[in-house]
Amino acid sequence: MIEIPSKFKNVRKSKNFRSYHSNQVARQLSRTDNATCRLCKGADETKEHILCTCDAISLKRLIYLGKANLTPEEVVSVASRQVLNFFGSLELP
């Protein structure tokens, strides 16, 4: 599990931030029984999976974050605005 860097702590105050809850979080909140990724349908949908390895959005990761696949350590070095833009570009059902 990746640790949320302190530079992202106040991100929710941004006007452009769209709240994102992974299926894993929704399952924990009893909103769904399914933790499977809504995009690739091949792994548990965690924030780490979305940010680092989901094959269904590797092109978007390349465009917004600079690499198709990232390690959790690389995510920490990405500018917060890029991460916000990346999450904003996702069209999650």
Output the pTM of the full model. 0.63
Is 47 contained in some domain?
Answer: yes
Q: What's the confidence (pLDDT) of residue 62?
A: 96
Helices of type H across 9-71: 23-28, 47-52, 58-65
Domain assignment of residue 35, given as a range: 21-89
39-70: b (≥16 Cβ within 10 Å) or e: bbeeeebbbbbbbbbbeebeebbeebbeeeeb
pLDDT (tens digit, 9 = 90+) per residue, 12-40? 444 444 445 555 554 555 556 678 888 89
What pLDDT, on the 0 to 100 scale, is given for residue 16? 44
Taking only the tens place, the pLDDT of each residue in 33-92 is 678 888 899 998 888 999 999 999 999 999 999 999 999 999 889 999 999 899 889 876
Residue 83, in any domain of the structure: yes
Domain contains 5: no
Number of domains in the chain: 1
pLDDT of residue 59: 95
